[in-house]
Amino acid sequence: MTVVAADRRTRYNIGRRKPLLRQIEDQVMLEKLARLIELARSIRMSPSESEEQRRSFAYGNTKIENDRITREMINERAEALKRADE
């Protein structure tokens, strides 16, 4: 059996593995996530925030491959690259 929500687009299937309440909760979660993503798109980072984000990304990705990587090593390389660009 299928139940149609008030927006007439969302459909909930009763009798499937997920109970109706869980399907509604999932839909609410998706709507909240969509709003957060839309808000995040409007945020503009300062150059220092952008640099901090870049270093964090570099650390996280290299740490996965090499457990000996430290934040200090990432910061040292970033500073060396910055000096080389000047």
Query: Which pLDDT tens digit goes with each residue over 25-77?
Result: 999 999 999 999 999 999 999 999 999 999 999 999 999 999 999 999 999 99
Who has greater pLDDT, 75 or 3? 75
Per-residue pLDDT band for 24 (boundaries 50, 70, 90) equals confident
The DSSP letter of residue 41 is: H
pLDDT value at residue 15: 59
Those residues with Cβ within 8 angstroms of residue 15's Cβ, 6 or more apart along the chain or in another chain: 1
| pLDDT level of residue 86 (50, 70, 90 thresholds) | confident
Q: Residue ranges of the domains in the chain? A: 2-41, 47-85
Which 8-state DSSP code applies to residue 24? H
User: Which residue do the tokens 């270093």 mark?
Assistant: 55
